């Protein structure tokens, strides 16, 4: 139960606002994780501050925890700059006061590098980054030269100073490592998502036109034998007109899912037009491609598209062409397209794997009587 609550809290904190621009999502994720981790570090430091026995530092650490929690809330609601500024200001105050109380040989000044790192990787503008870095550097120098030990009436024993120094140093290393790893992993995930978004059709999840053509080109360059199957849903306009556009979308998703389930792992599917799909079957002979098409058709008959309480039968017309039938990839695609057109003209719900060699033949109607149209 606790893990469920924790996971839903984690998901809520890490989910960017819906209207956030895609290019800002990366920064959102990195800072959401950083705020959570830094809050945990402040909580972990509480026993140490209690042990040191300086109420002012314990209070400031508590303040930092509260400010971090507030920063997480502000961040999740889109107030990124404000969240970052109050978080960094609270940390800078804690570090400066700690140094003023205990001197600068305890390692609190190292935390300034974390603050600088956070400023530099943030979404702030360049002038804002330069200004804040300048302020930070001035504070750092002032702390080293004048502020350090200014309130230093607290005498800590040498072992305690050494322990605090080691803890601070280790924490700075851990924080830098954590934040750098977040930058790397979130960037990688974001990049992978952008790449996938750029190559996928958002409605059906299969490749979009550009991506499937790129796949075909890659296979063509490798000189692999390739069967190209072009599919088009029959009377799709009627489905849209009768049941509505969202029912039409559902049918397209149904077809795409069925294709994905039916095909081999090495095969590729792309949506190349409104209701038109292109399937690439590498290293596949004509007979094998015909049996794939036959399997697709059987699957579609066995699994009509569910639509509310009823199901909607969907049929496909298909044109098949093989890589050896033309010298150029575009020629093979055009051939499959012409055969698809022949399948449509010949009554739909069928595959054409031969003929359609020139537009002229089709215009003269020979295809309707010859052996070029072949039912699956």
Instruction: Cite the active site residues.
Output: 275
The residue (of 16 and 356) whose beta carbon lies closer to ligand GTP is 356
Which token pair is 348?
Answer: 């739909």
Restricting to residues 78-137, name those near ligand GTP by CB under 6 A. none
Task: Write each residue from 220 to 239 as x if it is in contact with ligand GTP (CB under 6 A), else as -, in one continuous string.
Answer: ------------xxxxxxx-
Shortest approach of ligand GTP to residue 201 CB, angstroms? 9
Q: Based on the shown chain and the rule CB under 6 A, indicate whether residue 16 belongs to the binding site for ligand GTP.
A: no
Least Å distance, CB 253 to ligand GTP, is 10
Q: What is the largest CA-CA distance in the chain?
A: 105
Rounded CA separation 347/369 (Å) = 12
Among 180, 203, 218, 301, the residue binding ligand GTP under the rule CB under 6 A is 203
Coil, strand, or helix at residue 278? strand
Q: Which of 240, 303, 345, 361 binds ligand GTP (CB under 6 A)?
A: 240
- Quickly count: other Cβ atoms within 10 Å of residue 141's Cβ: 11
d(Cα 304, Cα 301) in Å, to the nearest integer?
Answer: 6
Rounded CA gap, 184 and 186, in Å? 6
* Residue with Cβ nearer ligand GTP (104 or 345): 345
Backbone angles phi, psi at 29, to 5 degrees: -65, -45
- Rounded to a whole number, what is the distance in angstroms from the first to the last CA of the chain? 54
Q: Which is nearer to ligand GTP, 75 or 271 (CB)?
A: 271
359 in Cβ contact with 254 (< 8 Å): no
**What part of residues 288-347 is at the interface with ligand GTP (CB under 6 A)?**
344
Query: Residues 118, 267, 275, 349: which binds ligand GTP (CB under 6 A)?
Result: 275
Least gap, CB of 125 to ligand GTP (angstroms): 40
Distance CA 281, CA 323 (A): 10
Q: Which residues bind ligand GTP (CB under 6 A)?
A: 203, 232-238, 240, 245, 248-249, 252, 274-275, 344, 348
């Amino acid at each position: 139960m606790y893990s469920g609550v924790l996971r839903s809290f984690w998901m809520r904190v890490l989910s960017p606002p819906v209207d956030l621009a895609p290019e800002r999502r990366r920064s959102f994720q990195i800072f959401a994780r950083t705020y959570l981790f830094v809050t945990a570090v402040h909580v972990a430091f509480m026993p140490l501050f209690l042990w040191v026995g300086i109420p002012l530092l314990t209070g400031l650490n508590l303040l930092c925890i509260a400010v971090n929690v507030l920063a997480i809330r502000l961040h999740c609601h889109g107030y990124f700059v404000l969240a970052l500024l109050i978080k960094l200001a609270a940390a800078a105050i804690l570090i400066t006061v700690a140094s003023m109380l205990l001197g600068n040989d305890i390692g609190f000044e190292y935390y300034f590098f974390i603050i600088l790192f956070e400023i530099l990787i943030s979404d702030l503008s360049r002038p804002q980054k330069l200004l804040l870095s300048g302020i930070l550097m001035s504070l750092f120098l002032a702390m080293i030269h004048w502020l350090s030990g200014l309130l230093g009436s607290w005498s800590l024993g040498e072992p305690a100073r050494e322990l605090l120094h080691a803890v601070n140093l280790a924490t700075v290393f851990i924080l830098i490592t954590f934040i750098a790893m977040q930058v790397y992993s979130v960037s990688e995930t974001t990049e992978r998502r952008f790449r996938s978004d750029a190559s996928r059709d958002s409605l059906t999840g299969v490749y979009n036109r550009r991506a499937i053509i790129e796949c075909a080109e890659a296979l063509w360059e490798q000189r692999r034998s390739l069967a190209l199957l072009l599919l088009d849903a029959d009377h799709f306009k009627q489905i849209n007109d009768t049941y509505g556009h969202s029912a039409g979308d559902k049918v397209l998703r149904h077809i795409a899912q069925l294709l994905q389930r039916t095909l081999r792992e090495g095969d590729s599917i792309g949506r190349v037009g409104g209701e038109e799909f292109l399937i690439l079957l590498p290293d596949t002979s004509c007979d094998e491609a015909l049996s794939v098409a036959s399997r697709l058709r059987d699957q579609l008959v066995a699994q009509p598209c569910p639509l509310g309480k009823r199901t909607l039968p969907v049929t496909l017309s298909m044109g098949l062409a093989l890589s050896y039938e033309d010298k150029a990839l575009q020629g093979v695609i055009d051939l499959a397209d012409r055969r698809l057109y022949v399948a449509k003209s010949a009554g739909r719900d069928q595959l054409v794997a031969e003929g359609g060699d020139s537009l002229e033949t089709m215009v003269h109607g020979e295809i309707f009587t010859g052996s070029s149209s072949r039912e699956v």
